[in-house]
Structure 1
Amino acid sequence: MTTRTFRSSVLGPRERGEEFGRTFSDEISACVFAYTRLFEMAASGPVDLDHLGGLAREAIWAISGEIAEEINGLAAGSGRSVAEICAINARTEILALLKSPATVRGECSTVVRLNKNGQPLAVQAWDWYESLAGSWLVWEIPHPDGSVTTTLTEYGIVGKIGVNSRGLGVLFNILHHAADGSGIGAPVHVLSRAVLDGARDLNQALVRLAGAPVSASSALTLVAARDGECAAVSVEVNPVRVGYVLPDADGLLLHTNHFLSSPASSGDTELITGPDSVVRLDLLRRRLASSPDVIAAMNSHLLGGGGLCCHADPALPAASRFATLAVVELDVASGTLTAHPGGPCSLL
């Protein structure tokens, strides 16, 4: 599989959404269908996608009117309803609302290494449902002010992992908290895109995330590089109180899928539903202590279906199998993103 990349040729949010929707109408429909099935699995029955999408639409408008207009364009261009497009953009929040641990799992391992030359190394293994292995692309989004947002995302979803041309990147780890799932709050994928589009520096990004009324938890790791300096911080957004995780004394910042900050760590449910997260974090730390090669350090299958390099467990039902769908590297200083299909072992 090769990485598909699309660069928008229009600048207006509505027009950009329409162009993307027309270009990838089949892929967006497949993504809507796949997530509708996941929602129904989580709910153990049919779901009212119009209602859920309507709730998501209100939350999206509260974050960004421009992104909401882009979503209207995505719907018009692809022939899907606005509610459907809003629902897949709030897929993390809807799965949390439906309260099914088996269908809201998901693993990601993130590494940031800050270098003295101001060129941070930022790498993530994105693990998600094996059935969605063909559902993603890299989207390059020019803006009227000349800046560019580049994001790895799923068809019809406005953003996820990404970087902008202002020296700011975002990596993504799903988290789970006992307080998740109360309504549909600010969708974390829309928040990531809003930060990449609008933040001109690290402080603006932090302020934007700190006040976000989320209903599903995630760690958004911000990486900044400018004027020969660099910094990184994982922002653990959750319904209780935002938390922050900083690099160690050597400039290494690691994150998997459990909370590393207080007070949210006391409500962490991942320690029950996905305890492999704590072992993955320890494996990363120890393997990186003996090797500067991040991809080699991520090439561990020790935990099987919960490994740093995750392959689908054939013992699980097909709809519940997770795999590393892509390895993503951000060059924050240059504002570029490289995505490699498959796990770390496919790069060695």
Structure 2
Amino acid sequence: MSTPRRTTLRITGDTPRRRGEARGRQARAGITRAWQVYEELFATVAAGNARTLDVPALALRTVRATRAWAPELVAEMEGVAEGAGLPFWTIAALNARTEILAEAGAPRTGECSTLVRVGPRTAGGQCWDWHQELADAWHLQTVNGDAQGFAGITEHGILAKIGVNEAGVGVLFNILGHADDAATGVPVHLVARQVLGTAGSFTEAVALLTGAPVSASTVITVVTPDRAASVELSPGGSAVVAPDDGGLLVRTNHFLDPVLAAAELRGRREPETYDRHRLLTERVRAHDDGPGTGVSGTDVSGAGAPGPDGLGPDVLGPDVLVRLLAAHRDGGAEVCCHAPAEGRLGSRWATLATVALDPAERRLAVHDGGPCSAGPGTWTPLTAPRR
């Protein structure tokens, strides 16, 4: 297999506005295409739920919240709009796409799955699942000029998503659902951007996350060379979820904190998130037990030997991750998603990327597609730039 040619943006600038302008110029065509899909997606989902959306008003409402919390993020989005030649509210709407879709009543079937293990070499990764129609609407990136340089993946026009910075602070991303989700607070993608661009430690990252005034729910898993935790964010508050006694964090798309779970939206509507969580936990435990053990639908052959990534059997590097994450519906849960051939916009979910994170090396490896199609030559390495 050969490495796919996914676009990599290399963004620099000594002010937020200049960094935004650089992003807008480099991704102008991609941002325009992405916006066309999102504009249709917002309308389709809202119509399916008998709702009417004023997207510009919703986007600008999240801008007001962001300006009060981190005005530099607004300046960066203004730069993106200028560089791309698009109205500012469209860039704000892209960055608030999670919040606007919550207002539209979007279902979230087929969302992301994350695995992290804390140990002598803390590492992890995830499947990023989203709409098949947006399969070409994301890119790799390195960003320099803020307090911390960082690298990762994100969608066209959105400042950040999954990544790691030069201090070895990494973030992984899973959407949640809360009964009070709306488009009134700081968008969760901008919160992830703030962590990647400014957090110099695990403690700083967690403090930023728990202090963010969000209005839609997500869990951002912070991973550093020696620590990890999932920070659940929602309109009802935040919670920090530690790894289990074996240093393992498994995240899908439901709250683990019991207080926040009391207002769960996604978990009640879409129980497949619990199936994925259960299956992945079983797979990791089978992997830990060594060669020849497994659960129904699990192939852990060779689990006791170091993989091609050279990280050893107890580290969740690319080779181990793909074996654990490559689970399909006939194996008990659809961790690796494949879009149906037919269906309307908003119903065709697919795993668009598989990401492995090594915070000690300030590095990610990104596979374009689901884990079942990953191979030795399909990973693109990215390292966080230093100032």
Q: Same fold (TM over 0.5)?
A: yes
Query: Measured at CA, do residues 303 and 180 of structure 1 come closer, stay the same or move farther in structure 2, by a change above 3 Å?
Result: farther
Q: Which residues of structure 2 form unaligned runs of 5+?
A: 288-312, 314-319, 376-387
Paired AA for residue 240 in structure 1: G
Using the TM superposition, name which of 6-15 and 240-249 deviates more.
6-15
SS in 2 for 1:8: strand
Q: CA offsets per residue over residues 264-316 of structure 1, 9 Å max, x none?
A: 11111222332111010111011111225221011111358961111113464
| Residue 262 of structure 2, aligned match among 238, 260, 266 | 266
Could you tell me which residue of structure 1 aligns to residue 73 of structure 2?
A: 67
| Structure (1 or 2) with the larger CA radius of gyration | 2
Could you tell me which residue of structure 1 aligns to residue 28 of structure 2?
A: 25
SS in 1 for 2:354: strand
Could you tell me which residue of structure 1 aligns to residue 166 of structure 2?
A: 165
1:139 lines up with 2:154 in the alignment: no
Could you tell me which residue of structure 2 aligns to residue 326 of structure 1?
A: 353
Query: Measured at CA, do residues 115 and 312 of structure 1 come closer, stay the same or move farther in structure 2, by a change above 3 Å?
Result: same
1:248 & 1:159 partners in 2: Cα distance?
28
Could you tell me which residue of structure 1 aligns to residue 131 of structure 2?
A: 129
1:140 & 1:59 partners in 2: Cα distance?
27
- 8 A contact 2:115–2:250 mirrored in 1: yes
- 8 A contact 2:220–2:232 mirrored in 1: yes
Query: How big is the shift at 1:337?
Result: 1.8
Using the TM superposition, name which of 317-326 and 303-312 deviates more.
303-312
Query: How big is the shift at 1:106?
Result: 4.7
- 8 A contact 2:98–2:188 mirrored in 1: yes
SS in 2 for 1:75: helix
| Residue 337 of structure 2, aligned match among 307, 310, 335 | 310
2:333 & 2:94 partners in 1: Cα distance?
25
Query: How big is the shift at 1:144?
Result: 5.6
Could you tell me which residue of structure 2 aligns to residue 199 of structure 1?
A: 199
- 8 A contact 2:132–2:348 mirrored in 1: yes
1:80-119 matched pairs, under 5 angstroms:
80-98=86-104, 100-102=105-107, 104-116=108-120, 119=121
| Residue 283 of structure 1, aligned match among 279, 295, 299 | 279
Paired AA for residue 14 in structure 1: R
RMSD: 1.9
Query: How big is the shift at 1:121?
Result: 1.4
1:328 & 1:64 partners in 2: Cα distance?
28
Paired AA for residue 203 in structure 1: T
- 8 A contact 2:327–2:333 mirrored in 1: no
Paired AA for residue 117 in structure 2: R
Paired AA for residue 327 in structure 1: T
Using the TM superposition, name which of 250-259 and 290-299 deviates more.
290-299
| Residue 252 of structure 1, aligned match among 239, 243, 248 | 248
- 8 A contact 1:159–1:189 mirrored in 2: yes
1:304 & 1:322 partners in 2: Cα distance?
18
Using the TM superposition, name which of 309-318 and 298-307 deviates more.
298-307
Could you tell me which residue of structure 1 aligns to residue 84 of structure 2?
A: 78
Paired AA for residue 213 in structure 1: P
Query: How big is the shift at 1:326?
Result: 0.1
- 8 A contact 1:304–1:311 mirrored in 2: no
Query: Measured at CA, do residues 288 and 206 of structure 1 come closer, stay the same or move farther in structure 2, by a change above 3 Å?
Result: same
Could you tell me which residue of structure 2 aligns to residue 187 of structure 1?
A: 187
- 8 A contact 2:254–2:273 mirrored in 1: yes
- 8 A contact 1:124–1:328 mirrored in 2: yes
| Residue 6 of structure 1, aligned match among 6, 9, 15 | 9
SS in 2 for 1:197: helix
1:296 lines up with 2:323 in the alignment: yes
Query: How big is the shift at 1:151?
Result: 2.4
Runs of 4+ in 1 over 4 A off after TM superposition: 303-306
Paired AA for residue 41 in structure 2: L
Paired AA for residue 212 in structure 1: A
Query: How big is the shift at 1:115?
Result: 2.1
Query: How big is the shift at 1:101?
Result: 3.5
Q: Which residues of structure 1 form unaligned runs of 5+?
A: none
1:305 & 1:133 partners in 2: Cα distance?
25
1:110 & 1:245 partners in 2: Cα distance?
14
Query: How big is the shift at 1:49?
Result: 2.9
- 8 A contact 1:101–1:273 mirrored in 2: no
- 8 A contact 2:160–2:193 mirrored in 1: yes
SS in 2 for 1:34: helix
SS in 2 for 1:247: coil
Q: How many percent of aligned residue pairs carry the same amino acid?
A: 39
SS in 2 for 1:11: coil
Query: How big is the shift at 1:170?
Result: 0.5
1:69 & 1:312 partners in 2: Cα distance?
37
Q: CA offsets per residue over residues 48-96 of structure 1, 9 Å max, x none?
A: 3321221122122123222211111100010111111001101111111
Paired AA for residue 184 in structure 2: I
SS in 2 for 1:107: coil
SS in 2 for 1:242: strand
**How many equivalent residue pairs?**
338
SS in 1 for 2:216: coil
Query: How big is the shift at 1:142?
Result: 1.0
TM-score by structure 1 length?
Answer: 0.92
SS in 1 for 2:240: strand
1:249 & 1:73 partners in 2: Cα distance?
45
Could you tell me which residue of structure 2 aligns to residue 34 of structure 1?
A: 37
SS in 2 for 1:333: helix
Using the TM superposition, name which of 62-71 and 302-311 deviates more.
302-311
